[in-house]
Amino acid sequence: MPNSATPTHCPYCALQCGMNLTPQQDGGVAVVERPDFPVNKGALCGKGRTAPAVLSSSVRLTSPLVRSGGELVPATWDEALDRVAEGLARTRTEHGPDACGVFGGGGLTNEKAYSLGKFARIVLGTSQIDYNGRFCMSSAAAAGMKAFGLDRGLPFPLEDIPKTGCVILVGSNPAETMPPSLRYFTELRENGGTLIVIDPRRTRTAEQADLHLAPRPGTDLALALGLLHLVVAEGRVDEEYVQERTVGWEDARAAAMAHWPEYVERITGVSVPQLREAVRLFCEPEHAMVLTARGPEQQSKGTDTVGAWINLCLATGRAGRPLSGYGCLTGQGNGQGGREHGQKADQLPGYRKLDDPAARRHVAEVWGVDPDSLPGPGRSAYELLDALGTDIKSLLLMGSNPVVSAPRAAHIEERIKSLDFLAVCDVVMSETAALADVVLPVTQWAEETGTTTNLEGRVLLRRRAITPPEGVRSDLEVMHELAARLGGERGLEKGFPTDPEEVFEELRRASAGGAADYSGITYRRLAEENGVFWPCPAVPEAADAESSEDCEDASLDATAGADDPAQDEEAAAASVHPGTPRLFLDRFATPDGRARFVPVSHRAIAEEPDDEYPVLLTTGRVVAQYQSGAQTRRVDELNAAAPGPFVELHPRLAARLGAAEGDPVAVVSRRGRAVAPARITTGIRPDTVFMPFHWPGEGRANTLTNPALDPTSRMPEFKACAVRVEAVRS
Ligand SMILES: Nc1nc2c(c(=O)[nH]1)N[C@H]1C(S)=C(S)[C@@H](COP(=O)(O)OP(=O)(O)OC[C@H]3O[C@@H](n4cnc5c(=O)[nH]c(N)nc54)[C@H](O)[C@@H]3O)O[C@H]1N2
Ligand SMILES: Nc1nc2c(c(=O)[nH]1)N[C@H]1C(S)=C(S)[C@@H](COP(=O)(O)OP(=O)(O)OC[C@H]3O[C@@H](n4cnc5c(=O)[nH]c(N)nc54)[C@H](O)[C@@H]3O)O[C@H]1N2
Ligand code: SF4
Ligand SMILES: [Mo]
């Protein structure tokens, strides 16, 4: 074990803050500032600071568990792995490979996500794999692919934000969800730039804004169209840019012109003068950015909604230019990398498409299998969970806790219970693990090495800093052992190394030539640089140098634009590709290099309020809890700060119910009923209530949410459904 500080990254969100871990007397580690890492410059939120608490074996799973007589009881690893292999093999024999499901997570390292996708397709032979990232940024990913031909959360580093003129943050609350990133927005304003926040609630982020627009949940598409209408009406279109760098403007323009500001005001509740002010702040400076997060994306029209915001950027010439652009703030620790290497239903590594014959050939060759043996695309996350117990009989789950986090969670919980067989790999006893037939305790974060890709597309190395507790094994070991058991004579385990660097070396080859090309990235480079931005193809001449000892003195010009052929040559001379911090500066990733406008029109949310369910429910996060809470609900300091669920509501609505601060209120939707204390604030629209989704049980927000899916991204409508709110009399 190293006895000095180990530089690594936080286990939680997509900012992937740098931190140092120092060994402690008691065998644990302490988090210490790591000021040299540029993204957070030493700053951490409370979750990152307290992350070592979840390493403690007092809150950990430290032995495999198997269900026996209805109870989960400790077992040896061999017994537990045999049970998993038997469960999956039986399903495969009796019902065919597609009856085996696999569900992954955007918190898994690139190595794990890559191996899980490969495991599903070549060990189980199933098409039925998807992951929780579908619930996260999938709408932005789909819209980015359509418009730019490529999906990378931010096409520029966070450090560009303070230098632009205006940022519109749409449905994003970084003050609670990525606190250290707030510095970039504060600096923007110190430099004379402006911040516009669009959120139905006056969040801690909105409090810092120059302009806060509070639309009705689920109306961001109309809002963006209204702004574009005004851009056209006020003659603010960048005609030259539109001519040179885009296609499809006429149709998009026509669609926007049908959205008069007064009509948009009626739909959104945002007044026409506020719309005009937003257009002025956005258009006057030379540079500007639009950043979206889950607010506009987690809607049954999330893809079109993000498309409308991209249209606004394109019409005003604010994409693919320095200090201007559209970006999505990805959420999970490896939300970016986790969507690139094959755990998504329709994807192969390197952001390749599973239905593309050339992609299948390339990846099948790396995997040493026949391309025809690879299954086709499978179901999306909600559809997969909804099929449990019917078409899908067995599930292997790694890195998600859907009993708390899936929409219409009571129904999904029933589906999970109706499985013939469930195996869960986790670090703690999550609500979903508690339903499993076999629970496999795995290593995490500080106990293992692996790479993640942060929201900027920066590939990072997390390093092992501590010995894992006795009794746990890594996810990679689990896949290796299951491949050995399920592969029989085929020796499939050889394709599932347990050393993360070996997996990464294969991932490099599998991703080579794909959109998310990692082939020029090595662990060695990641250890020496503060991350490398993809795409980063291997430079042919460098392939040999990389594996020999003399690559250390290769000079790296991080400012070289990878999109520029002249600079590519320079990089080749330097024998390594510098990576690509900024995308699209010369061309978009479409065949003709031009961005695509999408013609979109407003449509209603899937479930509009009515007499029976007159209020809108929206959901989201609080700063001290993470996701389903499986990890952070085990940390005392975080529980003290955020002890449980609540219903945020306006004083006018509270008065109508006769509810005072802290009184239990029931929120009822067509899916179920949840009860939590009232939190009364003028910061929310009177027609809307908000619940955080971090808790199970009576206050579980997802008991209420609507699984209406976006037709393209298959994203559920977490951010808007119709509810009734009732006072609870004791
Ligand atoms: N503390 C904490 N931090 C986290 C996480 C966590 O669980 N806890 N999770 C991480 C992950 S995976 C993610 S995806 C990110 C999410 O990060 P964010 O997207 O910032 O988080 P949310 O709270 O889900 O949603 C943001 C805001 O959208 C608003 N909103 C709700 N409905 C609408 C709407 O219809 N339109 C608009 N414009 N806004 C709306 C909500 O009021 C909320 O303030 O956070 C990451 N960071
Ligand atoms: N109502 C509502 N619901 C939402 C959202 C919302 O805004 N509103 N947001 C959605 C979003 S954006 C997301 S990302 C999802 C997230 O929701 P989940 O998918 O449930 O995510 P987590 O709670 O992070 O679950 C991760 C699980 O994996 C475990 N784990 C951590 N590291 C590892 C590892 O290395 N290996 C293994 N095997 N396990 C590990 C953790 O202990 C935890 O149990 O929730 C979605 N649900
Ligand atoms: S902001 Fe995100 S990455 Fe940074 S310390 Fe907090 S949870 Fe960790
Ligand atoms: Mo997320």
Q: Is the CB of 638 under 6 A from ligand 3?
A: no
CATH at 285:
3.40.228.10
**Residue 153 tokens, joined:** 């959360």
Evaluate: CB of 707 within 6 angstroms of ligand 1: no
CA of 136 to the centre of ligand 1 (A): 10
- pLDDT of 3 reads 60
User: Is the CB of residue 619 below 6 angstroms from any atom belonging to ligand 2?
Assistant: yes
C-beta of 177 in contact with ligand 1 (< 6 A): yes
The confidence score (pLDDT) of residue 575 equals: 84
Q: What is the 331 CA–ligand 1 centroid distance (Å)?
A: 9
Using alpha carbons, select from 390, 436, 428, 386 the residue that is nearest to residue 411: 386
Q: Mean per-residue pLDDT for 652-679?
A: 98
Determine if ligand 1 sits within 6 Å of the CB of residue 399.
no
- Euclidean distance between CA atoms 583 and 320, whole angstroms: 7
Whether pLDDT at 372 is above 70: yes
Tell me how crowded residue 272 is: count the other CB atoms within 10 A of its CB: 14
Ligand number with the minimum distance to the CA of 623: 1
| CB atoms near residue 448 (< 10 Å) | 24
Q: For residue 559, is pLDDT > 50?
A: no
Question: Is the pLDDT confidence value at 544 over 70?
Answer: no
- Could you say which of 301, 329, 357 is where a domain stops? 329
Return d(Cα 359, Cα 231) in angstroms, integer: 41
Give Cα separations from 25 to 10, 29, 110, 361, 464 (angstroms): 22, 9, 32, 52, 18
Residue from 294, 455, 639, 718 to probe ligand 1 pocket by mutation (most atoms less than 8 Å from CB)? 294
Q: How confident is the model at residue 573 (pLDDT cuts 50, 70, 90)?
A: low
Q: Would you give the distance in Å from CA 59 to the centre of its chain?
A: 26
Cβ-contact 282, 119 below 8 angstroms: no
**CATH code (residue 122):** 3.40.50.740
What's the 293 CA to ligand 4 centre distance in angstroms?
Answer: 9
Ligand with the closest atom to the CA of 174: 1
Q: What is the mean pLDDT of residues 357-373?
A: 98
Say whether both 506 and 532 belong to one domain: no
pLDDT at 191 over 50: yes
Q: Pick left, alpha or beta for residue 280 (phi over 0 → left; psi -120 to 50 → alpha; otherwise beta).
A: alpha
Residue tagged 């399903």 (tokens)? 91
Same domain, 251 and 149: yes
- Is 110 close to ligand 2, i.e. is its CB under 6 Å away? no
Q: For residues 600 and 254, give the distance between their C-alpha atoms in angstroms, rounded to a whole number.
A: 10
Spell 181-219 as b/e; 16+ CB within 10 A means b. bbbbbeebeeeebbbbbbbbbbbebbebbebbbbbbbbb
401 lines ligand 2 (CB under 6 A): yes
Condensed to tens digits (0 to 9), the pLDDT of residues 480-516 reads 999 999 998 899 999 999 999 999 999 999 999 999 9
Q: Is 635 in the pocket of ligand 3 (CB under 6 A)?
A: no
198 lines ligand 3 (CB under 6 A): no
Per-residue pLDDT tens for 307-351?
999 999 999 999 999 999 999 999 999 999 999 999 999 999 999
Ligand 2, atom 11, lies closest to the CA of: 136
Ligand 3 atom closest to residue 40's alpha carbon, by position in its atom list: 4
In a domain, 448, yes or no: no
* CB of 345 closer than 8 Å to CB of 378: yes
| Residue 594 phi, psi (nearest 5) | -100, 150
| Cβ of 48 less than 6 Å from ligand 3 | yes
pLDDT over 70, % of the chain: 95
Across the strands, what pairs with 196?
Answer: 168, 211
Q: Say how far apart CA 60 and CA 701 lie, in whole Å.
A: 26
Convert the pLDDT of each residue in 427-446 to its tens digit: 999 999 999 999 999 999 99
Q: Ligand 1, atom 16: nearest CA belongs to which residue?
A: 331
Does residue 273 sit within a domain?
yes
DSSP string, 6-38: EEEE-SSBTT--EEEEEE-TTS-EEEE--TT-T
pLDDT at 569 over 90: no
Q: Which 3 state secondary structure label does DSSP give 524?
A: helix
Q: Could you identify the atom of ligand 1 that is nearest to the CA of residue 217?
A: 35
Residues 168, 118: one domain? no
Q: How far is the CA of 456 from the centre of ligand 1 (A)?
A: 18
Residue 51 Cβ < 6 Å to ligand 3: no
Whether the predicted pLDDT of 572 surpasses 90: no
Q: Say if 10 falls within a structural domain.
A: no
Longest dimension (CA), the chain: 75
- Which of 8, 15, 19, 631 to probe ligand 3 with, by most ligand atoms within 8 A of CB? 15
Residues 304 and 165 in one domain: yes
Q: How far is the CA of 251 from the centre of ligand 1 (A)?
A: 32
- Give the pLDDT confidence of 463-485 residue by residue, as tens digits: 999 999 999 999 999 999 999 99
Question: The tokens of 277 are what?
Answer: 């002010």
Kindly report the protein residue whose alpha carbon is nearest to atom 1 of ligand 3.
178
Amino acid at 175: A
If one residue of 9, 12, 39 were mutated to test the ligand 3 pocket, choosing by the most ligand atoms within 8 A of its CB, it would be 12
Give phi and psi for 438, each to the nearest 5: -140, 130
**Confidence check: pLDDT of 683 > 80:** yes
Q: For 53-126, where are the alpha helices, taking DSSP H only?
A: 77-95, 110-118
pLDDT of residue 549: 39
Q: Give the three-class secondary structure for 218.
A: coil
Pick the atom of ligand 1 nearest to 173's CA: 20
Residue 680 lies in a domain: yes
Kindly give, in sequence order, each residue whose CB lies less than 8 Å from that of residue 138, ignoring residues fewer than 6 positions away. Answer: 297, 302, 339, 710, 713, 714, 715
> Within a 13 Å sphere around the CA of 489, how many CA atoms are in the beta-carbon half?
0
Burial class of residue 4, CB neighbours in 10 A (0-12, 13-18, 19+): exposed
Q: CA 240 to CA 246: how far, in whole Å? A: 10
Would you say residue 12 lies in a domain?
A: no
Rounded to the nearest whole angstrom, what is the distance from the C-alpha of residue 178 to the centroid of ligand 3?
A: 6
Query: Do 104 and 159 belong to one domain?
Result: no
Rounded percentage of the chain residues whose pLDDT exceeds 90: 93
Taking residues 679-708, report their average pLDDT: 98
428 lines ligand 2 (CB under 6 A): yes
Please give the Cα distance from 344 to 326 (Å, whole number): 24
The protein residue whose alpha carbon is closest to atom 44 in ligand 1 is: 173
Axis crossing angle, helix 302-315 with helix 138-148, rounded to the nearest 10? 40
Regarding whether 233 and 160 lie in a shared domain, the answer is yes
Distance from residue 153's CA to the centre of ligand 2 (Å): 19
Asked whether the predicted pLDDT for residue 555 surpasses 50, the reply is no
Residue 44 lies inside a defined structural domain of this protein? no
Do 308 and 373 fall within a single domain? no
Residues 347, 495 within the same domain: yes
Residue nearest (by alpha carbon) to ligand 1 atom 22: 620
Peptide bond into 535 cis (omega under 30): yes
In the chain, the number of structural domains is: 4
The Cβ of residue 93 has, within 10 Å, a number of other Cβ atoms equal to 10
Coil, helix or strand for 460?
strand
- Tell whether ligand 3 has an atom less than 6 A from the beta carbon of residue 15: yes
Average predicted confidence (pLDDT) for the chain? 95
pLDDT at 552: 37
Distance in angstroms (rounded) separating the CA atoms of residues 360 and 351: 12
Determine the distance separating the centroid of ligand 4 and the alpha carbon of 454, expressed in angstroms. 13
- The first and second tokens of residue 365, run together, are 């060759």
| CATH number assigned to the domain comprising residue 635 | 2.40.40.20
Which of 511, 537, 556 delimits the end of a domain?
511
Bridge partner residues of 247 (DSSP): 596
Q: Which strand ranges, in their side-by-side order, compose the sheet holding 6-9?
A: 6-9, 18-23, 29-32
Note the pLDDT of residue 726: 97
Of the residues 299, 329, 359, the one at which a domain ends:
329
CA of 16 to the centre of ligand 3 (A): 6
Please tell me the predicted confidence (pLDDT) of residue 4.
Answer: 86
- Is the pLDDT confidence value at 206 over 50? yes
Q: What is the pLDDT of residues 136-181, one digit of tens each?
A: 999 999 999 999 999 999 999 999 999 999 999 999 999 999 999 9
| Residue whose CA lies nearest to ligand 2 atom number 16 | 627
Query: Has residue 602 been placed in a domain?
Result: no
Q: Which domain holds residue 359?
A: 65-136+334-442+474-511
- The pLDDT tens digits for 246-276 are 999 999 999 999 999 999 999 999 999 999 9
pLDDT of residue 570: 53
Closest ligand 2 atom, residue 627 Cα: 23
Are residues 231 and 169 part of one domain? yes
- Is residue 37 a part of any domain in this protein? no
- Ligand nearest the Cα atom of residue 113: 2
Q: What's the CA gap between 632 and 650, in Å, rounded?
A: 28
Residues 318 and 351 reside in one and the same domain? no
Q: What's the start-to-end Cα distance of the chain, in Å?
A: 56
Atom index in ligand 1 nearest the CA of residue 223 equals: 38
Q: Which atom of ligand 1 is nearest to the CA of 335?
A: 12
Which of the four pLDDT bands, split at 50, 70 and 90, describes residue 26?
A: confident
- CA proximity to 328, closest of 172, 135, 438: 172
Instruction: Specify the amino acid at residue 508.
Output: R
Which tens digit of pLDDT belongs to each residue from 79-91?
Answer: 999 999 999 999 9
Whether pLDDT at 560 is above 50? no
Contact between 306 and 291 under an 8 Å Cβ cutoff? The reply is no
Q: Mark whether 406 and 292 lie in a shared domain.
A: no
Radius of gyration of the chain (CA): 25
Q: Tell me, yes or no, whether 279 and 175 share the same domain.
A: yes
Please tell me which residue, 535 or 4, carries the higher pLDDT value. 535
Instruction: Give every CB contact of residue 25 below 8 A, 6+ residues apart in sequence.
Output: none
Least confident of 15-24, 244-253, 558-567, 704-713: 558-567
